[in-house]
Structure 1
Amino acid sequence: MKKFAFAVLSAFWFAASQQAAACTISEDLTESVPLNYQGIPNSYRLKMVDLVSNARRWPDVEIQAQIVTNAYVGEKNAEELAKSRGQQLKEFLIQIGVKSQYIYVDTHLEGAPYPQDNSGFNGYLQLSVGLMPLCKGGCERLCDDPRITPTSKAIE
């Protein structure tokens, strides 16, 4: 029993010590488009260029992208619309230099608009792109890099 308690305590200590050095690094963009809108607005594309430009400042990493596109049940051909939005965003990210093998697309059908959250977002929010660093051996070194501003940092 003592060995088990020691193992649990050791695992907890290890996890806590790892958490103390953790941070989150990302570039994120979420927006709504008019219902049934089939394209990606140029204003959103320009913001994506800025997003990728900021991510390129991360030293010695690959950029990975998580795309989430939504369509609402009331939109025409909602499932196809969500897939099309995701594919268009992926193609644009490839055009501006993100490697296709590091781009992940997730599509959803939604029944109602999102209520306002604590960051002020609400509405349909059909387009979302998040960029994160992909590091060999882990990204912990980026947490203390003076060239990078983490999105969040663990309380030490």
Structure 2
Amino acid sequence: MSKKLKVRGSVVIVALAISACSYGSAGACTIGEEAEIELPVNTTALTNANRLAITDAVIEAKKWPDVQIQAVIMAGAYTVERNLDQLKEDRARNVKVYLQQLGIRSENILIEKHTFTDEMVVKRPDGTLSYRQVFVEFKPICNGSCAWMCDDPRVTPRSKVINP
């Protein structure tokens, strides 16, 4: 392919990209809620504080209009804990059961199991260690794109609308 033809092709691609942007701006934002759960080492039972964190996130997610809610449970155990696989399994199950009690459909709950290393431990200002073993992310399930939610006054996005 000649150099002249390559340059002409590049010019056409740039012109198409510019014209696409000028006929309407593409927008996107991030819609979601999350809960971080810290449990005592080697335990699986949710505390009242854990339940409250999950409930608060679900209450916010239920404000999303005309969508179902997907929950992704990232259940983990730290390498310093015992019976890592069993801990991950029990923690995931306990959170899933609680989410179902809060009205999240079973088919909309996904589970990921992780082994966390010492590098992932958070140090509190007082010097004690914080082991966050479970994270729950809530996302809307939309028909097609959820972009329409970015401009809906009932929805508080986690990020701003992006307009190129």
Shared fold, TM over 0.5: yes
**Alignment-derived partner of residue 52 in structure 1:** 58
**Alignment-derived partner of residue 29 in structure 2:** 23
Residue 11 of structure 1, CA deviation: 6.0
Q: In structure 2, the residue corresponding to 1:49 is in which secondary structure?
A: helix
Residue 97 of structure 1, CA deviation: 0.7
**Alignment-derived partner of residue 143 in structure 1:** 150
Alpha-carbon RMSD: 2.6
Query: What is the CA–CA distance in structure 2 between the aligned matches of 1:143 and 1:63, rounded to whole Å?
Result: 16
Q: In structure 2, the residue corresponding to 1:85 is in which secondary structure?
A: helix
Query: What is the CA–CA distance in structure 1 between the aligned matches of 2:138 and 2:57, rounded to whole Å?
Result: 8
**Alignment-derived partner of residue 152 in structure 1:** 159
Structure 1, unmatched stretches of 5+, are: none
Q: Structure 2 vs 1, CA of residues 5 and 100 (structure 1 numbering), >3 Å: closer, same or farther?
A: farther
Q: Share of identical aligned residues, percent? A: 36
What amino acid sits opposite 1:128 in the alignment?
F
**Of residues 36, 41, 58 in structure 1, which corresponds to 2:47?**
41
Q: Structure 2 vs 1, CA of residues 136 and 35 (structure 1 numbering), >3 Å: closer, same or farther?
A: same
Q: Structure 2 vs 1, CA of residues 86 and 9 (structure 1 numbering), >3 Å: closer, same or farther?
A: farther
Structure 2, unmatched stretches of 5+, are: 1-5, 124-128
The answer to whether the Cα contact below 8 Å between 2:71 and 2:110 also exists between their aligned partners in 1 is yes
Higher Rg of the two aligned structures: 2
Q: In structure 1, the residue corresponding to 2:115 is in which secondary structure?
A: strand
Query: What is the CA–CA distance in structure 2 between the aligned matches of 1:73 and 1:63, rounded to whole Å?
Result: 32
Cα shift readout 1:18-71 (whole Å, capped 9, x = no counterpart): 3xx100011111132111012111221122122212111100001001111110
The answer to whether the Cα contact below 8 Å between 1:69 and 1:82 also exists between their aligned partners in 2 is yes
**Alignment-derived partner of residue 112 in structure 2:** 106
**Of residues 117, 128, 131 in structure 1, which corresponds to 2:138?**
131
How many residue pairs align between the two structures?
150
